[in-house]
Amino acid sequence: MKKTIGLGLLFTLLSSAVFSQTADPYMWLEDVDSERSMEFVNQHNTGSVDVLNKLPTYQPIYDKCLEIYNSTDRIVYPTTYGDFIYNFWQDKEHVRGIWRRSPKADYIAGNPKWEILMDIDAMSEADGVKWVYKGAAGLYPKYDRFLVSLSNGGGDAVVIKEFDVNKKAFVENGFTVEEAKGGVSYIDENTVIISTDFGPGSMTTSGYPSQAKVWKRGTALKDATLIYTGDINDVGAWGGVMRDGAKAYTIISRAITFYTSETYVWMDNKAVKLELPEDAESNGFINNQYIIALKSDWTVRGVTYKQGDLISLDFTELLKGVYQIQLIYRPDEFSSISGVSATKNKLLLELISNVNGELYVYTFSQNVWTKEKVKAPEYGKISVVDADEFSDKYYFNFANFLTPTTLYYADAASGDVKAIKSLPAYFDGSKFKVEQFKATSADGTLVPYFIVSSKTAANNGHNPTLLYAYGGFESSSLPFYSGTVGTAWLERGGVYVLANIRGGGEYGPKWHQAGLKEKRQNVYNDFHAVAEDLIKRKITAPEHLGIMGGSNGGLLMGVAFTQRPDLYKAVVCQVPLLDMERYNKLLAGASWMGEYGNPDIPEEWAFIKKYSPYHNLKENAAYPEVFFTTSTRDDRVHPGHARKMVAKMESMGYKVYYYENIEGGHAGASTNEQRAKSAALEYSYLWMKLKH
């Protein structure tokens, strides 16, 4: 992606770099593709892989994981556009994948007739580019054209091309956007709203677009009409189209921080701002009701709507500045909203109650919302997969740790529900049990967590145990079904633990906000408390306890072993943030200052530096031999975090393991073979460290 900065900013960055290089001898590893950096990567990859892939567990785990990932018995997930079901599919014949469609009636009947629209493997070979499919947005209502996003190597930056699904070809002289972090949406057949890298001054310090433009077919992008410009220090500004049936609204979203934004409606050639709380979360439209979730209390005309509430506003009146508000749902102390979607006439609400899923259908009639609980399985995760905008039909998933994921087809109007496809049982769930406990954190907060273990496991302190958590960005960690965890860990005698620490969204916005910025240590204390509780219950002991987490969870891993090396024997630290002094200067890092704080402000660096893993490494500490993983093509969390941590630890005499996939983006892998290799390396490392 092109990057353009002003001379003043360039001077500031160069001055900072000169200073930082003096303090940080490993900053050269932030140069992603330099010859010196790649030599470092290749040497460490070779050294670690040569050890781990020779372990007796490696090949069996790799073979089984690849079998699972390539299985034709996997669920074919639907995306409904008009009369067709669309699906992206990867297997051993289609390593990079195919984009395909089937008539909707055939899919629902269980006999889909797939028509391949785009072969990513063939395209990659023809273009000499490792293309990764990143999604498609269709043209309402016929959906005969799509704007398809393709990434070179799996990063967030994408090339966008217009595609004709009937001709199965890219549209000649159609809408085409060069590689950038941005987006394009159809306003009509010949008009799109676009946010991308338009050149100097058009990108924020977070690396996202700051402008939205309206672009007409047949004209040059440089001639597109500018309709909005945000601030360079915002996270970004994006244009899009939100539909309420046949009615469409052209929307501009200015993301001030990761958690605050302004919303504008482009109408009558002007941007009309919606006067709503900046931390409110938009959830779309249904029958002229604009659905928003509140992250803090909001008082309107003497009525206070509470943090965590889901409310609706009459949109026609809102555009006039008049608030006609209806309360849809108010969570209690142990519940929260995990998802909101809509069919043609019904609102679908996914809830979490005591970290278990529930699903409700809401109907708006005579200015009142009424609800009906969906007849879905209990004690697991429920998530709406797809909803048909032209009917009240929809699909949802159910899964828990021991029940294979099942896709359901449902009718929100009649209440009918039927299972249409389940994953095969990749392992025998009847041999295992699931328990839920609560650990007491340092400030007395009770932190829930799940344990999955053999029914015959003894609480003798000898069980190899893997503790996983995320703890950030209001992302909830819910029960799930994983053939990889089941076959690579549980069936081999391991205990799996999922912790619902603060920073997540399990108990709503308050649970998340209890771990923001200066409160961040609460997240880490919660994690330590769960580990201590596992040891106290004699489920495991420090010499048998391993931990795993990625991205923000990778930061959690770095903090965990630098703060409490006495608790952990093995650490899998995936695509992590680790240098919290420079994270806001690397790739998308500046966009996360709403979560962690700004290290350039002395008062905020004062609390960040207390936990920044890169800055809290100590000589002669009893650290475990950590396994760091990342991706060269990760353009969200910079691979320099992991690289520098490895270099610094080795300079102190610590042994570590390191694997950097050359492609894969923030997901760490682009193909099933790459996913199987990563899993085999990680679980082989864990067994090497934690077995009896």
541, exposed or middle or buried, with CB in 10 Å at 0-12, 13-18, 19+? middle
SS3 content of the chain, % helix, strand, coil (to 5): 25, 35, 40
Considering the domain architecture, whether residues 49 and 106 belong to the same structural domain is answered as: no
The C-alpha angle 75, 81, 85, rounded to 5 degrees, equals: 30
Does 436 map to a domain?
yes
Q: Per-residue pLDDT tens for 479-525? A: 999 999 999 999 999 999 999 999 999 999 999 999 999 999 999 99
Instruction: Report if residue 359 sits inside a domain.
Output: no
User: Would you place residue 8 in the very low, low, confident or very high pLDDT band (cuts 50, 70, 90)?
Assistant: very low
Picking from 174, 204, 220, the residue at the C-terminal end of a domain is 174
- Same-domain status, 59 and 107: no
Q: What is the mean pLDDT of residues 27-51?
A: 97
Condensed to tens digits (0 to 9), the pLDDT of residues 358-381 reads 999 999 999 999 999 999 999 999
- 615-656 per-position pLDDT tens digit: 999 999 999 999 999 999 999 999 999 999 999 999 999 999
Whether residues 450 and 554 fall in one domain: yes
Look at residue 50 and tell me if it is in a domain: yes
Catalytic residue from among 441, 666, 670, 684: 666
- Are 79 and 148 within one domain? yes
- Going along 76-166, which residue ranges are E strands? 79-81, 84-89, 98-103, 115-119, 131-138, 145-152, 158-164
CATH number of the domain to which 542 belongs: 3.40.50.1820
pLDDT, tens digit (0-9, with 9 covering 90-100), for 567-579: 999 999 999 999 9
> Is residue 44 domain-shared with residue 121, that is, in the same domain?
no
Q: CA torsion angle for 453, 458, 460, 463 (degrees, to 10)?
A: -30
> For 646-673, how does the pLDDT look when each residue is reduced to its tens digit (9 = 90+)?
999 999 999 999 999 988 777 777 899 9
Which band of pLDDT confidence, cut at 50, 70 and 90, is reported for residue 10? very low
Q: List residues bridging with 148 in a β-sheet.
A: 136, 161
Q: Are residues 440 and 566 in the same domain?
A: yes
- The pLDDT of residue 247 is 95
| Residue 221 domain flag | no
| Same domain flag for 550 and 654 | yes
pLDDT of residue 5: 31
What is the overall mean pLDDT for the chain?
95
In a domain, 617, yes or no: yes
Please tell me whether residues 457 and 565 are part of one structural domain. Answer: yes
| pLDDT value for 692 | 65
Catalytic residue among 102, 338, 551, 631: 551
Answer yes or no: is 680 within a domain.
yes
Query: Is 666 in the active site?
Result: yes
The residue among 146, 174, 202 that closes a domain is 174
Please state, for a pLDDT cut of 70, what percent of the chain lies above it. Answer: 97
Given a cut of 90, is residue 23 above it in pLDDT?
A: no
Same domain, 85 and 60: no
* Tally of structural domains, the chain: 2
* Domain closes at, from 123, 158, 174: 174
Domain span at residue 566 reads: 40-66+426-578+604-632+646-690
Same domain, 436 and 551: yes
Same domain, 536 and 515: yes
* Predicted pLDDT of residue 22: 44
User: Are 91 and 45 in a shared domain?
Assistant: no
The answer to whether position 83 is within a domain reads yes
- Average pLDDT, stretch 117-132? 97
Contact 477, 671 (CB under 8 A): no
